[in-house]
Structure 1
């Protein structure tokens, strides 16, 4: 009988240790994972030159007005629905309203993907696809206000 697959680790004292592979190739963890329906693969699109994450960071720190409003406001979903074109795209995420128009061409999934939440509350979709992203940091300069209930 052959030994289970393993790989070598070297500790700080330069000692080599053989560590078993986990999860094992025919183990229950891999079998369950293989039988679990995987989400549809999202494809990143090729961004136009000048629209990399680094370019977004430069734009955000440039001092340019990315909000498009003079001061933070309070907006209902009805008001947000008026901003659902590529020239004027707003969304609400976790109770905050963002003018995402300046970010459209920087989004790794492309303009079309981001337009899915234009003019509506995008919290659920955002959390399903980008729960690890710090929206407050990424879109801070694009925040236009807060989502409030309709009267």
Structure 2
């Protein structure tokens, strides 16, 4: 069973000695990862004790990064404190799908024009 951790508790972990962040309603203790983070420790400290979902998604982390972070998960927000942050990933995926569709349409138009 996953431990529920409130924002009140998370906010206490906002310094170099204890860095907890929320990403997609899950709570991560990334204190031991500060020195290893490819983006530098400042990127993590900026969202220490806060919801870092938007920052995390804006950077466009790889699947490898998403797998690495699993080992730092220590809990989840209580249902009453959760946000719809999972929609950020869905919007990001939708953005890429729309771009791919637009690209396919352009390629189709160009091919039709030059093959006619």
Q: Which interval holds the TM-score relative to the shorter structure?
A: 0.5 to 0.7
Q: Which has the higher helix share?
A: 2
Q: Which residue of the other structure, out of 65, 76, 83, is the alignment partner of 2:6?
A: 76
Residue 45 (structure 2) pairs with residue 115 (structure 1): yes
* Structure 1 CA distance for aligned equivalents of residues 9 and 65 of structure 2: 21
Q: Which has the higher strand share?
A: 1
* Greater C-alpha Rg: 1
Name which structure has the greater RCO, CA cutoff 8 Å, separation 6+. 2
Give the number of aligned pairs.
Answer: 80
TM-score (norm 2): 0.61
TM-score (norm 1): 0.48
Deviation at 1:130, TM superposition (A): 2.8
| Structure 2 unmatched ranges of 5 or more | 82-116
* Structure 2 CA distance for aligned equivalents of residues 111 and 130 of structure 1: 17
Deviation at 1:115, TM superposition (A): 0.6
| Structure 1 unmatched ranges of 5 or more | 1-70
Match of 2:16 in 1: 86
Aligned-residue Cα RMSD (Å) equals 1.9
